[in-house]
Structure formats: structure tokens, C-alpha cells
Structure 1
Amino acid sequence: MDNNFVNWEIQNADLVGMEGSTKKNIFIKNGKFDSIQDELSNSDVALFDAKDLFLYPALINSHDHMIASYSPKVGGKVKCNNWLSWDNELKSSLVFSERQTLDISDLYQLGAYRNLLGATTTVMDHIPHFVNRSQIDGLLVRLVKDYTLSHSICSYSLGWGDGAEIEYSLAKQKKIPFVTHLGEGFDEESLRSFESLKKQNALGEFSVLVHCLPFGAKEAKEIAQANANLVWCPSSNLHIFGKTTNIESFLDAKVNISLGTDLAMAGSENMLAEMKLAHTLLQETKYKKNAAQILFQMVTANAAQSLQLSKNLGSVNVGKAADFFLLKKKSENPYENLLLSEPEDIVLLARDGRPVFGKGSLESLFQELQVVSETIYLGKKDTENFQILGSPKNVMKKLQSSLGYKKDLAFLPLVESIV
């Protein structure tokens, strides 16, 4: 995205934070929240009245593989004991062969649209830098730029990075996240992976540990004591393994937990869908009463903390990037309202103060803010249109051209209008 910022103001918004919601007027200047107050700024700028709408910080997807932004899902009928079994099934599938025919730039654009429809503007794309470096500038979502990584901590790990010990040391030096799958399965190596991580001196406050499936209270306590972070991806876990993280143990230990969709070929359609599943699972724990609020924190402040982005993202505060979205009210409880919402309920989504997705009725606002957008129709509501930055229609046309037939993607349900 370019940096052609236009200043504007949102009035009468019910601003959502960790303590509930309060009615505020929000002035956006140079892509950041410039003021948040009870009165209007009296500036001569574009105004948007957000009366009867909740305003949330944009969501952060803490784990994705953008290069795998394709569908349908692979496998799932026979549950796996480790990630390699599923990966072998993936790479022998027709879906994978189709994906391999596509340009990486198209896959990343598809991944961006998948995330935007889930009210998400920031994504941790877990992949070596040489893969995504060329995609970062100009992409509609913000990819985390600064991180070190391993693929996983096991003998059959893919060769990402220079080993956990070196990668974590570099992350600590630069104060950036070290991201790795850990315990992605239930075989002996997955069970031993936590001890292996510790032996490589890769457990600490910069560790972002994805999955941790076979671990219990003992490991959760040690992870908490190290101020390390967990990323929970229940949708892909259940699809591949039939089980997910012992999330209650990690909540008991007060580990910093965030949520991720994981790749589209095994995970959820978007972050809104991931939150719904996570909420269902939390109903089986002692945390069911506050589950909605816990999940809100996972996808905002917790995610920003784990990815070392708290200075700029994770909440609506003066000086931070103006990444936010507006939702219709289906519930007066802002956290429950978020869980009830679908992509079609997003009134407006902005990144760096610029609208990137919103209701078709806001086309004039897009124009006033100098945002060039395309009209699309989603899912079953084919008489209601939306504005979106870029051109998903062109991406889908390129997809059809590459494959030789029309392809439907579950996470990007574009339809033609019937009017």
C-alpha cells in the first residue's frame, strides 16, 4: 500500500477496548490515531458518523502460510500423528498440483483478501524471508517484516533458518519474534520437542511457539515462566490431528496466547471463523464465562505483544497505526458481538487510516478519501455489494486462466449480483 494519507474523523463510535466500550470521536492523521476524545476536533476534514456501530482494533492473525492460500482443504478423514504425515498427503494431492501452477504474487493476494474478509490487517506469515520479501510492499495486509524462524523442532523439520539456537539469539539481539512450530503432533519427537527447544536455548520472551499440542500443565508453566508466547490454531489442529492444544492449561499458567488461522488448505476461512471455533472449545473449560473477552484480547493486544508490535498495533490509542474496523451491533456486549459477526457484517475496515474493505453504501467515502476500490458481492447476500481495495475479480480471472476452468475458493466467496 502507498502512503498517500488523507486525514479524516469518525464521530459517535463505540470504541472497544479491554474494559468494554465508550463513545468517542476519533481523528485520523497521517495514517495514525491522532486524537480520541469526547468532542469533535473541529477540523475541516471528511466526517463519518459511526452512530450505533462498534469500533474495534483490526485483528492480527498470528499464524498463516500465505503461499498456501488455496482451497479446498486437504485430508482430514484420517487423522495424523505428526505434521509430516499430513504434509506428504498435501504434496501428493491434486489441490497442491493446482496451487503449484499459480504465481506466488496471486497466492499472496488471495491470502490478503482471505484475511481482510476476517477483519484482519496484520499477518504473521511463517515462511523464510526469501519467499515473502518481494510480496510485502504493496500487499493489502501488513506482513510482519522482522522475525527469525525455524520450521519446527524435530529431525524431520524443513530447513528454515540456521537452527533454533542461532535464530533465537538473533531474535533476542534484535528484539524481534522467533517463530517456530512446536509439538505439532503426538509422536515421540513431538513429545520431546519442548526439551529440545530448551537445550537449544531457544525458550524466552521472544519465542512464538505455534501449536504445542502434546503439552500439559508442566510445560505451560515453564513457557509462562520464560515469558514465551503460544499461538493457538484450533481449526487446523482438529482438521489434521483431531485434537487441539490443551488450552485450559495454558490459560491457567497465564501464558500470553494469540490466535492464528494457519494455512487455508487446513485451517479456517478467516479470523472471524477461527474465533467462533475457539469460543466453542472454550465453553468446555472453566473460562467459558469470559471466553469472548479472552478471545478479543488474543487477536489484538496479545498478538501484538507476542510479535513485538505493541508500540504500533493491538489497540486503538493515540500514536498507533489507525488499523480498525466497524461492526453492526448484533449484541450490546462488544465481545459477544464480535463473535456473532460474519464478513458481511463489517461496515468498514481500515489499515493505516485508509479504508480497504467496507459496505457498498460507503463508496463515496472511499472516493473522498482517495481510495480506488472495486465493487464485489459476497456469499448468499448477492444483492448487497461491498467496496474492496485492489481487484479480487482480476486475481480470480488469472486463476481461471491458469487452471483452464472457474475455481471457487471457500475463503473468497465472490458471487455475481442478481440485480
Structure 2
Amino acid sequence: MESANQSKVIIDDTTLRDGEQTAGVVFSKREKLAIARLLDGIGVQELECGIPAMGEEERDMVRSLVDLGLNARLITWNRAVIPDIEASLACGVGAVDISLSVSDQMIAHKLHTSRVGVVEQLKRALGFAKEHSLYVSVGGEDASRADLSFLAELMEITRALGGDRFRFCDTLGILDPFTMYEKVKALRTAVPELDIEVHTHNDLGMATANAIAGIKAGARFVNTTVNGLGERAGNAALEEVVMALKLACGIDPAIDTHRFHEISRFVGRASQRPVPPWKAVVGERVFSHESGLHADGVIKDSRNYEGFDPSEVGLRRHIVVGKHSGTSGLVERYRELGIELSRDEATSLMGAVRTMAQRVKRSLSDGELRSLHDSMQLTLRAA
């Protein structure tokens, strides 16, 4: 990706739209307003906030979001048809995504039309939107399975009619990062004047990797959701994409990451999809260390085994005592409990710790650790 674009990556978070499309997820009005404020508060530049064509209740929700006066641009999702765009206009938004299927599979077996029909649909919908001075992202549904020359044609039409960007959607989540890079790079080269947005799904576990690959290939906009919510296996997770951009790519998207844990937990509760403790970046236990080698290394210098400080995402480090613990971890964990343990005492306790951990098949609780220490003290006094 050109260096000129590296400081201009724009996060378009779609938690309020695609995130809520997770099967069984419904956000209340209060929750949507809170999520919007939280995302706006950390600097997310754009929020895809709903589908006005769904009905009056959805339109009322979008109007309430508009009334918040956020710094983030609000953009709605629409089919590439005039009634949908009219519904968005009625909500007072200034930006729309107009989506149309672009793969031959969907053109033939979903829309029952032709490429010519898709082109005409794009011209009508985009023309109408620009007549009403809307910012427009043209969403290419199933772009990952579409013919690249046809996508370039649609992008050129989008550019000529005043469209603002083109959304390359890996709707089925079937791409690998190398193919994503090649496809986005080819489109960037074919129509360099038009911004590209990438929208990735996680069906093969590669949504974040594909999102990063798209950005590296020249996309300036990237869709995310908090915790990776979304259809089927979900979308690229906001927290993963932002931290990957910062740490793996050296690109700062100007997002305050310190509230990621707070936002992740709120969305987890609102969606009734609890965040797994091992969830990348924001899981409660992703900064837990048990094995003797790792615990010793992180105690000496956290940079030995942590790519970034847990406080950067609102978390903290945990030293866990279990089957694989060593003396350094044991001494540190007891110190956290207010018990000063010598190396010799830690060595003496190690056998009992490992035996108990093997028996209970987990790490040991504070109470169990205190009990083992008390037993050791009694044994020493008796001796």
C-alpha cells in the first residue's frame, strides 16, 4: 500500500448493522445508542448504523442516532433500489451504502438477471443517490467470486457517476489473504481514482487477515464489528484489525484502544454472546501465563512474551498457577496474595501444586493456593 494512504485508513464499523444481523442478536434502542457513543468516543470514523427500508421502527432508530450529533459519519445499508435510498433520506443521513450482487452466481441464481441488468440497476440507484447529494459507497456483494473485469467496469461506472468508493465484499468468507491482496491490488490498479473498502467474513477464520491484506493492497476503508459479530462466523473484529494495523503494519488508524475491553464486554452483554476468555486482543485471559518458561520470562520483562502491554486494550496480566508452573510463577503468584515465598519453599510446594492441578484439571484458585501454603507451614512446624 502506498505510504500516502497509510495514515488515512478509515474504520467503518458495522456492529449496529451487520453485527446485529448475527443470528438471534437484537440490540435495544438504548444499547444501540450506547454502542454508537462508545465507538464514536474512541475515534471510529464511520458507523454503518442500520437498514431504514426495514420499517418505521428501524428508521426511528437511525434518526435517534443522527440526533446524537456524533463526530463519526453515519452510513446506512440499502439495496441498490430507489425506495431503499428514499427511506434513508427520510432519516436525515448523508451517506449510504447501496448494495448489489456482482458475482455471476448471484446475478443468475439470486437476482435472475444479467450483468447488463446489474449495470442498469447501479446507474439508476447511484444516479438517484447523487442527485440527492449523498455520499455513496457502492457495495459489491459476493465480489470475491465475481469476474475482476466486471468489477472494474462497475467501479469505473461508480467513479464516472460520482460514487465515492467501492466495497469489495468477501461475502462468503472464502478468500485467503494472498488472493485478497491480489484481487484488491488489481482493482486498485484498474481504477486508481476510486477508493476501495473491504468487507470480510470469518467463515474460514481469516476475516482479520483478509481485511489487513486488503488494506495492504490499497484499500482505504475497512469494515469491522466489535468482537467479530456478524452473519454466520462473523466479520473482522474491530479490536483485532486495529491492533494488527498498529503492531503488524505500522499503521495507526487513530483509534483509542484503551477502552476496547470495556466496549467488548458491553457488546458481549448486549448481544448475549459472551466474550470467550481466549478471544484475541480482548479476552480476559489472553495475558495469562502459566508455563514455567513463559511466566519466568514475562516476570523478568513483559516484552519477552507479550507483543503489547495489556493496559493498551484495558486488560491486565495474570500469573496462573497450574500443572505447568515453575518456581518463578509460583513465587510471583503468592506475592500477589500477600505471601512471601522463598525459592526453596516454592520448590517444596511444586509437587503438591502439580498433583492438585492434575486432579482438578485446571489452574488453582486463591483459596487452594492458601490451603497448600498453610499445609506446608504446618508440616514445617511439625518437623
TM superposition score normalised by structure 2: 0.44
Between Structure 1 and Structure 2, whose CA radius of gyration is higher?
A: 2
Relative contact order: is structure 1 or structure 2 higher (C-alpha 8 Å, sep ≥ 6)? Answer: 1
Q: Determine which structure has the larger helix proportion and give its number.
A: 2
Q: Determine which structure has the larger strand proportion and give its number.
A: 1
TM superposition score normalised by structure 1: 0.41
